[in-house]
Amino acid sequence: MYTELRRPCRTMILVNPHSGRGQALQLFTGHIQAMLTEASVPYTLVITEHQNHARELVRNADLTQWDALVIMSGDGLLFEVINGMMEREDWQQAIQTPLGMLPGGSGNALAASIHHYSQSPPAWNEELLLSCGFMLCKGLVGSLDLVSVHLASSQRLFSFLSLAWGFVADVDIESEKYRHVGAIRFLMGTLVRLASLRVYQGRLAYLPAKEIPKPPNERAKATRPPFTPQQPETLCQPVPENWTVVNEEDFVLVLAICHSHLAEDLWTVPGAMADDGLIHLFYVTAGISRPALLRLFLAMERGSHLAYGCPHLVYEKVRALRLEPISQQGMITVDGEVVEYGPIQAQVHPRMARLICP
């Protein structure tokens, strides 16, 4: 169910000048500026000055002045913006502001996913940017699922993309130092991490999607996203009986993802949609060989990793999950950003936000 952006669409474009290879601003002026002028889209450019600048700005801004907020960066800046919106008193209205994505980072998972949903052939770099710029000019708005994430410190975050622990989180964060090479940093990070492959111990449980019927096709109810009766209130409570507890406790990775792409060239979830009401949960259990793991990631470029029938790879569609690391050391990321290490619980809220899409 699509709506159209208000015309003229008063647009705030937030640019992170340090994202990707540090060229987001040049990419904007070189490829997008003229397109927006041609399409008569009035915009105000905001260049972020530090981490959390966008989050603070969005938390305090008069959002009635804007018909769309557009991010020109990687996924990390959208994570800031969504959390800034959800921290507001008027978060119910705020989170209805249409969000747009222009890929300017090294991790452009959402942009790659949106482009994929348009059923166009794969695109990278400038071509992907132009595709997303075109969508912005076209101005169609659809729904976007969000995931609320609870941490042990009882902090709550909102995620639009991913929760990762183990191999994927380590590669994402360790490869930050190769940011200057762009999206290929993930392949470099994968090769480095493969050389020092390790096992992560923890407990994983989830609420299978089939346990709850898909909600009717309407936007999420405007209440502070509740925990459903199927969802324990706190991480101290045991998981309910209708949850599945995974028997294995030795993992190489756990990855929960809400979109088709984990990166521009990682087609992780064939069939995912921006508002399918699902968390796509993958885990790889210990015992997988290095070549087999590399093969999975290489196959992901074509979205064919599930076809291998690899016995260590498990894929489930879920509505909520809980991860309790036992290993003392490790990293957990939410939307590619490091969060507090420890028990973590997540639940999907279908169609909570709005997204400029094909």
Nearest residue (CB) to ligand ADP, 183 versus 272: 183
Would you say 104 and 23 are in contact if contact means Cβ atoms under 8 Å apart? yes
Instruction: Name the residue whose CB lies closest to Mg ion.
Output: 76
Instruction: Name the residue whose CB lies closest to ligand ADP.
Output: 74
Three-state SS for 15? strand
List of residues contacting Mg ion (CB under 5 A): 74, 76, 107, 336
N residues, the chain: 358
Nearest residue (CB) to Mg ion, 15 versus 320: 15
Nearest residue (CB) to Mg ion, 106 versus 285: 106
Smallest gap from residue 209 Cβ to Mg ion (A) = 28
Nearest to 166 by CA among 27, 286, 58: 286
Q: Given phi > 0 = left and psi -120 to 50 = alpha, else beta, which region is 53?
A: alpha
Q: Given phi > 0 = left and psi -120 to 50 = alpha, else beta, which region is 207?
A: beta
Cα distance between residue 227 and residue 348, in whole Å: 10
Smallest gap from residue 121 Cβ to ligand ADP (A) = 23
Segment holding 253, helix H or strand E: strand 250-257
Smallest gap from residue 152 Cβ to Mg ion (A) = 23
- Residue 139 binding result from Mg ion, ligand ADP, none, given CB thresholds of 5 to 8 Å by partner type: none
Q: Which of 75, 170, 275, 335 is catalytic?
A: 75
HEC string for 291-330: HHHHHHHHHHHHCCHHHHCCCCEEEEEEEEEEEEECCCCC
List of residues contacting ligand ADP (CB under 6 A): 16-20, 48-51, 53, 73-77, 80, 105-107, 179, 336-337
Smallest gap from residue 132 Cβ to Mg ion (A) = 16
Nearest residue (CB) to ligand ADP, 183 versus 220: 183
Smallest gap from residue 21 Cβ to Mg ion (A) = 13
At residue 47, what is the residue type?
I
Nearest to 280 by CA among 300, 298, 308, 294: 300
Per the annotation, the verdict on 75 as an active-site residue is yes
Nearest residue (CB) to ligand ADP, 263 versus 278: 263
Instruction: Please give the positions annotated as active site.
Output: 75
